[in-house]
Amino acid sequence: MANIIEHRNDLLGDAYYEVRHETGLTVLVYPKAGYSTSYAVIGTNYGSIDDALKVKGGEEKVLPWGTAHFLEHKLFESEELDAFERFAETGASANAYTTFDRTCYLFSCSSNFEKNLEILLDFVQHPYFTQETVEKEQGIIGQEIRMYLDEPGWQVLFNLLKSLYHKHPVKVDIAGTEESISHISADLLYECYESFYNLNNMVLACAGNVTVDDVLAICDRCLIQTPEVLVERPDKGEPADIVQPSIAQEFAVTIPTFALGFKETHETPIRSMKERILTDLLMDVVAGETSELYERLLREGLIDTGFGYEYFTGPGYATVIFEGRSRDPEQVAEAIKAEVRKLRETGVDPVQFDRLRKMNYGKTVMSYNDIDGLANGLVGAYMNGDELFEELDLYREITVEDANEQLKHQMLEEYSALSVVHGPDETI
Amino acid sequence: MDNTFVVTTVEPGFRVCSYHTDRFKTGILSVNLVVPLAGNVAEKSLLPALLCASCRAYPDLLSLNRKLAELYGAELSPSVSKHGENLVLRISMTMIGDRFALDGESISLECARLLCKALFEPNVEDGAFLAAEVEREKRIRLDRIEALKSSKRSWAQKQMIELMCADEAYSLPILGREEDIRALTPEQLCTSWQDLLKTAFVQLQVVGDLEVEPITALFREYFDHVEDRNVVRGKTVVIPSAEAVKRGVEEQDIAQSKLVMGFRCGMHEPFENYAAMRTFTDLFGGGTYSRLFMNVREKQSLCYYCAARLTAAKGILTVQSGVETENAEKAEEEILKQLEEMKAGGVTAEDLEKSHRSMEDFFLSVFDTPEELDGWLFSQVTDDEFQTPEDLVAEMKQVTVEQVIEMANNVTLDTVFLLKGTGTGDDGEVD
């Protein structure tokens, strides 16, 4: 009998369960009373930043950019019915996505959960790639890459990352480039699959109208024991300094789009949940809706309500990004930097800190409804080595001193860059 | 009553729709005001944003935003949309359930009061909104319209609708015309706000672990103080079929072209034959088993996305796709060929079964998020009869292959719009 670990949060009245299956797959189950739908997602710790394959004890092999995403597209196919066709038989809605650091396959359904989970586990364990289908896919993905070339928000982000990162592959589009994907072959996909898709490198999360027993019974039936393969994520050797402090691109836009990023360098590859929560709060303090800066920029017409920010972080990269549209991105960037300088001197206002802590606690509580968000959140937390519910406790524990301490190492001007996409009529 | 929809007409022109349940951590409260889509849309359409920017009790954006943060990050959100030829102005509040408040306070009632203050007690002096706030909101609105032009998919869709429905109220842009927005005055907006309270059909929606009765009583009391309330309902004109095909092309320096096709659906009034038409749309260009996905996208790789969407409130259907410029003509031919094949009987019982299952899954998932339950209520804001997701699923399961073919035969092409990419995209000037 497998050892089941219960993770419970009394405040929420929720619990999820964790099991390490004998095949090496980690299984997480989050039952939700009263829900009619179920959601399952299986993910591998393999994303677009993995531009090298290194099995423990082996040599490092360079991979073309976009390989993880390409493999995701192809794994849906099989010699007979492809996975979409099989899910169409049961009524489930299925999908997949690739991020910088992982690839996930998922479905949601309101009936036939057992059958659907069988299909999911089956197609993920049975790759079928041929040179012919790989070549066809090069055309489809080429179009997908071209579609993103027309998205100013996407371009402004990758231009920023190119200005911040010398080596780290986070600076390249998740789908790769039309050139890079032309080097992908069926054999290469098999090679990547055999390593990255080892069950020891994967996690299954189910949420909603599900039980631990049902999920484990299906796993027992459908998972195939294979020899353990451990994949390493080699350090990218990214230096601390940035490439260039500004970048601009001309585009068919009427109001310039901008992204201001502050690159960080850390000794460990992954940021802890506490660091991430404090960063979120610090960004709120600097330019959130309750800040004087936000109100002033809005009043002066320098930003619109699409202004936002995020802590853009994953294995080996961490950047605080402020983004939006502005007629004068330079002035917005200067105002943000000035606000950070001021904050470093005065420290965070304790009243504002408490207000924002309450706000973020509330927003976190409200995120515990959606089973897709929860299942994907479980996958992300697991890959980061976090416990999902830890977040809520942290919001009650963190102090204004923690925030001030962290600010000493964050949003440093010498590591910042401004990326702007502007219309043809403007001169920057 | 728990876990059921309750729809009550409190008085003519004021309806309360609720779904009480404790399975969510979140509650959603919204007030939805329906007026005919006509005339100067800008003066109505700007109101939700203006009303959510401040009120007498919280007289500026900063104090209001700080109050919301203290209410555990409650969100006060304005929005505007069209349902056929009705304009729906909406203000909603999303909040944590009372049981999660750390000091035992009643968040839901406080949020309901705040929503009432926003709608009924704005920052109005001498018959006018505050000039500085009006100017800021006008500018934000104009910027949003500019930003829409950068979003190529939505831009192409908007241009197609304006061409297709040029002589119908439906083509009026919900954000207002730019020249009308620029001309708005604080006095004009105040009059428009007063008219709105007098004439709008009101649907109050309450979803989650919120107490419906005190919230209803609160809104009722406020509406009782509105003098001369006289609700005006709009009616949507539905054109059953198209005559000559209209064509529009706009060139832009983008890598990929966007092709949008507009069809009339044979409906004579909104939502006529909805279950059958919705099923047809799903089989034509909805799920991964649909003709457009399987043939145009997968087999022929003509586009990265190609999907059909039904707007039953207006009786139209649109097909949107992203294509290489040189493939645009071929994609259009192929989309029409798929439609022709369905008209000629190319619908199998197996395909229909897939659609039934998928639709059942889709509509029953409504029950698992407060946002979707709220959205379900909202989707019927202009309907007199209320339908539950189970009702709709049961109706859709009765749809036969013959009906789907009949629906296909009711569809006629009205307009083709191409946002033509003239750029190569890969040599964009980065400096």
What are B30-87's pLDDT values in tens digits?
A: 999 999 999 999 999 999 999 999 999 999 999 999 999 999 999 999 999 999 999 9
- In Å, how far from its chain's centre is CA A412? 24
Q: Which domain holds residue B85?
A: 5-224
What does the pLDDT average to over A395-417? 96
Q: Which of B111, B365, B397 to mutate to test the interface with A (most CBs of A within 10 A)?
A: B365
| pLDDT at residue number B352 | 95
Would residue B426 count as lying in a domain? no
CB A133 within 8 A of CB A77: yes
Which residue spans of chain A are classified as CATH 3.30.830.10?
A: 4-232, 246-422
Q: What is the pLDDT of residues A33-57, one digit of tens each?
A: 999 999 999 999 999 999 999 998 8
Burial of A425 (C-beta count, 10 Å sphere; 0-12/13-18/19+): exposed
Q: Give the Cβ contact number of residue B275 at 10 Å.
A: 21
CATH of the domain at B81: 3.30.830.10
A215 CA: distance to closest CA in chain B (Å): 20
Would residue B427 count as lying in a domain? no
A48 CA: distance to closest CA in chain B (Å): 20
Residues B201 and B120 in one domain: yes
* pLDDT over 60 at B425, yes or no: no
Pick the CATH number of A246-422 from 3.40.640.10, 3.30.70.20, 3.40.50.880, 3.30.830.10: 3.30.830.10
Average pLDDT score, chain B: 93
Query: What is the domain count for chain B?
Result: 2
Amino acid identity for residue A362 in this structure: G
Residues B194 and B255 in one domain: no
Q: What is the pLDDT of residues A245-273, one digit of tens each?
A: 999 999 878 889 999 999 999 999 999 99
Would residue B131 count as lying in a domain? yes
Phi, psi torsion values for A27, nearest 5 degrees: -120, 130
Q: Please indicate whether, in this complex, the C-beta atoms of A325 and B143 are within 8 angstroms of each other.
A: yes
Q: Please indicate whether, in this complex, the C-beta atoms of A35 and B430 are within 8 angstroms of each other.
A: no
| pLDDT at residue number A1 | 54
A355 touching B, CB under 8 A? yes
What does the pLDDT average to over B89-107? 93
B96 CA: distance to closest CA in chain A (Å): 6
- In the structure, what pLDDT confidence band is assigned to residue A88 with cuts at 50, 70 and 90? confident
Residues B270 and B331 in one domain: yes
Instruction: For chain B, give the longest Cα–Cα distance.
Output: 66
* pLDDT over 60 at B428, yes or no: no
| pLDDT at residue number A150 | 80
Q: Pick the catalytic residue: A18, A22, A72, A390?
A: A72
Strands B26-36 and B86-96: antiparallel
Nearest CA in chain B to A88: B354
Would residue B340 count as lying in a domain? yes
- In the structure, what pLDDT confidence band is assigned to residue B150 with cuts at 50, 70 and 90? confident
Q: Is A330 a catalytic residue?
A: no
- In the structure, what pLDDT confidence band is assigned to residue A340 with cuts at 50, 70 and 90? very high
Which of B165, B191, B224 represents a domain boundary (last residue)? B224
Would residue B234 count as lying in a domain? no
Amino acid identity for residue B413 in this structure: L
* pLDDT over 90 at B415, yes or no: yes
Q: Please indicate whether, in this complex, the C-beta atoms of B361 and A92 are within 8 angstroms of each other.
A: yes
* pLDDT over 90 at A144, yes or no: no
- In the structure, what pLDDT confidence band is assigned to residue A424 with cuts at 50, 70 and 90? confident
Residues B215 and B268 in one domain: no
What does the pLDDT average to over A211-218? 97
Taking CB atoms and an 8 Å cutoff, what residues of chain A touch B146?
Answer: 254-255
| pLDDT at residue number A425 | 66
Please tell me the distance from the alpha carbon of residue B263 to that of residue B415, in angstroms, as a whole number: 7
Would residue B429 count as lying in a domain? no
Output the DSSP codes for B281-339. HHHHHTSTTSHIIIIIIIIT--EEEEEEEEETTTTEEEEEEEE-GGGHHHHHHHHHHHH
* pLDDT over 60 at B426, yes or no: no
| pLDDT at residue number B208 | 96
Q: Please indicate whether, in this complex, the C-beta atoms of B61 and A109 are within 8 angstroms of each other.
A: no
Residues B120 and B87 in one domain: yes
| pLDDT at residue number B424 | 58
- In the structure, what pLDDT confidence band is assigned to residue B431 with cuts at 50, 70 and 90? very low
* pLDDT over 90 at B423, yes or no: no
Q: What is the pLDDT of residues B196-241, one digit of tens each?
A: 999 999 999 999 999 999 999 999 999 999 999 999 998 999 999 9
What is the assigned CATH class of domain A4-232? alpha beta
Residues B220 and B169 in one domain: yes
Would residue B238 count as lying in a domain? no
Phi, psi torsion values for B357, nearest 5 degrees: -65, -45
Please tell me the distance from the alpha carbon of residue A42 to that of residue A88, in angstroms, as a whole number: 19
B12 CA: distance to closest CA in chain A (Å): 35
Please tell me the distance from the alpha carbon of residue A188 to that of residue A183, in angstroms, as a whole number: 9
Q: Which residues contact A192 (CB under 8 A, 6 or more apart)?
A: A46, A53, A63, A67, A68, A71
Phi, psi torsion values for B424, nearest 5 degrees: -90, -20
What does the pLDDT average to over A121-131? 95
Taking CB atoms and an 8 Å cutoff, what residues of chain A touch B369?
Answer: 369-370
Candidates A36, A366, A113, A39; CA nearest to B366 is A36
What does the pLDDT average to over A265-289? 96
Q: What is the pLDDT of residues A9-34, one digit of tens each?
A: 999 999 999 999 999 999 999 999 99
Taking CB atoms and an 8 Å cutoff, what residues of chain B touch A248?
Answer: 430-431
- In the structure, what pLDDT confidence band is assigned to residue B429 with cuts at 50, 70 and 90? very low
Mean pLDDT check: name the lowest of A142-151, B154-163, B379-388: A142-151
pTM value surpassing 0.80: yes
Output the DSSP codes for B350-404. HHHHHHHHHHHHHHHGGGG-HHHHHHHHHTTTT-SS---HHHHHHHHHT--HHHH
Residues B409 and B261 in one domain: yes
Would residue B206 count as lying in a domain? yes
Q: What is the pLDDT of residues A158-203, one digit of tens each?
A: 999 999 999 999 999 999 999 999 999 999 999 999 999 999 999 9
* pLDDT over 70 at A302, yes or no: yes
* pLDDT over 90 at B147, yes or no: no
What does the pLDDT average to over B278-306? 88
3-class DSSP state of B241:
coil
